[in-house]
Structure 1
Amino acid sequence: MSVATTESPELLRSYIERIERIAEEIQALKDDQKVVFAEAKTQGFDPKAMRRIIKRRQKDQSEVAEQESIDDNYMHAIGMTSEHPLHVQVRRLTADGIGREQVIEALQLLIPVNGEIIASVGGQPMRLWRTADGQSFAEDYVPPLFEDFMNKRKAS
């Protein structure tokens, strides 16, 4: 037995009682939460969907976007969706009318680790890639044929 428990039983009892009160308060809050979910259900709301939304709101938005991107890619890979998720995302982005930099930023979330895409965003092609450690990068893309043509032209 440790010295603290033999010399100060009242202090130990106070800690235990405080922890028990907190546990009771937590249980009361959980019961209140059940009542709110039940009320919402009587109004026609889906409690399971509400729970998913609550969990989602507690996460960082970039984490949510990345998880959705991975899920979409997997669902496409096993035939659950007919259209490639990248095409869907690009269509959404252009429909929202967001700027070129925002499109590039959003596309970087869709790139798998060690992957790359080349996309024409606002006219100028961009090379977007992600490294093994998950960092995303973007740069203007110059197709190799054009680069060769320009080098030959400069040489002559």
Structure 2
Amino acid sequence: MKDQLTIPVPLPDKHRAADERLEHEIERIERLEEEKRGLSEDIRDVYNDIRAAGYDTKCVRQIVRLRRMKPEDRRQMEAILDVYKNALGLD
């Protein structure tokens, strides 16, 4: 069977607009991903500075996580952690 030539058929305006919107949104995601990479590099640099200043970065990361939590959620997590530590004799 011979290869068939396909002739592009112009899309109706509503499809073209949808395609343009999709392209716009994809480009937006790509820009945001690039910004995210830049921010990740900045955060990594800050942690490197913290390490160079003699701080324990694992502890600093934990503090950042705790500060991000709502106070009630943090209290609940710490209470459960205390129960688990007591059960395992880690106090």
Which structure is higher in helix share?
2
Q: Deviations over 1:89-137 (max 9, x none)?
A: xxxxxxxxxxxxxxxxxxxxxxxxxxxxxxxxxxxxxxxxxxxxxxxxx
Identity %: 32
- Counterpart among 41, 63, 67 of residue 53 in structure 1: 63
What CA RMSD, in Å, does the superposition of the two structures yield over aligned residues?
2.0
Q: Which structure has more RCO (C-alpha within 8 Å, separation ≥ 6)?
A: 1
Whether contact under 8 Å (1:41, 1:47) holds in the other structure is yes
Whether contact under 8 Å (1:5, 1:12) holds in the other structure is no
* Structure of larger gyration radius: 1
Equivalent residue number for residue 44 of structure 2: 34
Unaligned runs of 5+ in 2: 1-11
Change (3 A) 1:4 1:20: farther
Which structure is higher in strand share?
1
Give the TM-score normalised by structure 2.
Answer: 0.74
Change (3 A) 1:4 1:70: farther
Give 1:40-119 correspondences, 5 Å limit: 40-81=50-91
Matched, 1:21 2:31: yes
Aligned-pair CA distance for 1:5? 7.9
Give the TM-score normalised by structure 1.
Answer: 0.46
Unaligned runs of 5+ in 1: 82-156
Runs of 4+ in 1 over 6 A off after TM superposition: none
